A and B are shown apart, each in its own frame.
Chain A
């Protein structure tokens, strides 16, 4: 086997640092997607496979706004607003009818939405991926004469994701609205008895999740381009990250996302990009064999 140990000269160190930094910035985006999935799972016990298509759609809208002369920040804001509305609409019109039913039916409906939204995007904007501008420069910082693989835009990505995670945490832990949302998700009957508008809370949960998802879409779009199927791998990795962390734990989504981002970055840097999906599988299996409910699970494993 012709496997070379990574050389630990100055070049090796630079490469390692580059891969680490790159892993952190892509991991932050995986974490955002995972966060969106976790929010919906906690609210309605549905794995939202349509998430990928939903933020694909909002990113396309942002791209259209920017192309027609709007500023980047206008596109950014429009994408988030559209994500919020789209999430609420999807829950209210379609998902409400399969909530509480057989779990597979909800999965199929979500898959149907995924396919439908991708098709509609293809009809409107065509199937050829188009470029998307970054918020800030994508030229790496220069440290001691060498340029590292981490740019102001990556700083922006990481900060936005951290900020979003903290804001969500504050919403759920510190506000009355957050408490109502948690109550609606965990004990719908009791919550309803106590006057919580459960249906409205679930809609709000979906809207917030879709907003977080659309954020992830706008953040990753400069590096993967915008196209109807362009975000499918992102959904797979986001789901993987959510599972690694434990679907019930938002902090698990964050840690799972960064862990997955780092591992995939190292594998793709040292062993080649073709093995990335296989590495995700191995990482997932290893984590779940040790902790079947994810890293942050508090529930006991399934009895065998």
Chain B
């Protein structure tokens, strides 16, 4: 499923990855200039989705832990920002940093509990966390605003950008800045000794602990980092929507995040980008499709959901390793056929060779295939 290290693209050094992030920042700024304010808002949505999905990529892809509760961790960050900006009138940056720290602290608690649990048991606890935590907003309505949530004033763009700088573009800039910070941090963490240790723990806990790795500590660390990313994403969400309400952090959000990270491609940062794009675009597209026809209200209202569910099922059946995996496979196919065309000395490879190449290349074929052949 993941690329073995020898055929990974050569890893960027710290300075080079910083350069890449700055380049991406310039590109994003130019793109946001070209977009309408509605599309800028979508860009901002995609940016905070990316922030939380990148954290989940580290947690689920690299460390092998499942979380159905990252929506609740986003809520922690969102309410922190809403309280600090709304009540204490903090500036944006310190409020976001506070959101990261608060959710990281919650992440320590959940993560420490998580290290004792496996697969479905971890899924169950994080699921209960996703459902249970937003109930606090209803229990303490004077602090958290009950079901209506907390409303904050929109962030004001600095004066050097001019009076007419659209609010949506400024929100997109803030959200993209947050996403790029996450990209930089996660990329370098994945390609550090810690990242390799996490993979070792994921693949074989006993072997890893024999090598002297502190398994529980590493797993908690992965949870804390992903919680911090979720907190930042939640804070950004509050800034973009100017609202932190329990209705935004339902179980549905947590499940959508999981689907985003799996559909995009587990364990790859590019996959997190695809996942974020899907989470933003799929509802819009399916809504457009539903309203393109004149069905009865019941059908029109439910068609987007039906399309979403169908896409989830079909995507998993067709591309078990996610979009990123499917693209990797496509790339391999193209390069193999080009090679075959270039050199006539070797016989044409065909499906078997492709599959072997795919297996080497990490875009894993469905793992059940061997069993199915037996069956």
Residues of A within 8 A of B (CB): 41, 47, 94, 97-105, 107-109, 111-120, 122-127, 192, 198-199, 228, 232-233, 236, 239-240, 242-243, 247, 272, 274-282, 284-285, 288-289, 292-294, 301-304
Contact = CB atoms under 8 A, between A and B. Distances in A.
A247 B120 contact: yes
A108 B306 contact: no
Given A104-B258, A107-B258, A109-B317, 18 more contacts: A107-B262, A108-B258, A111-B309, A115-B308, A115-B309, A119-B304, A123-B299, A123-B302, A125-B298, A126-B298, A236-B127, A242-B124, A243-B125, A278-B139, A285-B113, A288-B117, A292-B118, A302-B118
Nearest to A98: B316
B199 to A, nearest CB: 16
B133 to A, nearest CB: 8
Interface string B108-145: 00000101111111011101110111011011000000
Contacts of B118: 292, 302
A122 B313 contact: no
A113 B127 contact: no
Nearest to A293: B121
Contacts of B209: 303
Contacts of A228: 302
A101 to B, nearest CB: 5
B354 interface: no
Nearest to B266: A104
A116 B251 contact: no
B255 A122 contact: no
Interface in B163-199: none
Given A41-B120, A302-B117, A119 B66 contact: no
Interface stretch (B41-49, B327-335, B364-372): B364-372
Contact of B125 (A114, A236, A288): A288
A147 to B, nearest CB: 30
Name the 10 nearest CB pairs between A and B, nearest first: A112-B312, A116-B309, A115-B309, A281-B132, A119-B306, A119-B305, A243-B124, A122-B302, A100-B368, A112-B313
Nearest to B119: A103
A122 B298 contact: yes
A113 B298 contact: no
Residue with the highest number of chain B CB atoms closer than 10 Å, among A124, A232, A276, A281: A281
Contacts of B135: 274-278
B132 A115 contact: no
Interface of B: 1, 60, 66, 113, 115-121, 123-125, 127-129, 131-133, 135-136, 138-139, 205-206, 209, 215-216, 251, 255, 258-259, 262-263, 266, 298-299, 301-306, 308-313, 316-317, 320, 366-368, 371, 375
Contacts of B66: 104, 107
Contact of B117 (A108, A278, A292): A292
A107 B67 CA distance: 12
B368 A101 contact: yes
11 contacts: A47-B120, A97-B368, A98-B317, A119-B309, A120-B302, A122-B301, A240-B124, A277-B135, A278-B133, A301-B116, A303-B215
Contacts of B205: 303
A230 B171 CA distance: 36
B316 A278 contact: no
A272 B136 CA distance: 12
Given A98-B316, A100-B367, A108-B259, A302 B116 contact: yes
Nearest to A100: B368
Contacts of B121: 243, 247, 288, 292-294
Contact of B116 (A102, A107, A198, A289): A289
Contact of A102 (B1, B206, B251): B1
Contacts of A101: 320, 366-368
Nearest to A233: B131
B132 A280 contact: yes
Contacts of B371: 100
A108 B120 contact: no
Nearest to A280: B128
Contacts of B136: 278
A108 B322 CA distance: 11
A158 B113 CA distance: 34
Given A115-B308, A123-B306, A278-B132, A243 B120 contact: yes
A248 B123 CA distance: 15
B125 A284 contact: yes
Given A101-B368, A284-B128, A112 B116 contact: no
A171 to B, nearest CB: 24
Contacts of B215: 303-304
Contact of B320 (A105, A124, A301): A105
B120 to A, nearest CB: 5
Contacts of A301: 116
B255 A111 contact: yes
A38 to B, nearest CB: 11
Residue with the highest number of chain A CB atoms closer than 10 Å, among B117, B299, B316: B316
Given A104-B266, A116-B309, A109 B316 contact: yes
Given A199-B375, A277-B128, A115 B263 contact: no
A243 B128 CA distance: 11
A108 B312 contact: yes
A281 B129 contact: yes
B123 A108 contact: no
Contacts of A233: 131
Contacts of A102: 1, 266, 320, 367
A98 B321 CA distance: 12
Contact of A112 (B139, B206, B251, B309): B309
B261 to A, nearest CB: 9
A112 B368 contact: no
Contacts of A125: 298
B139 A274 contact: yes
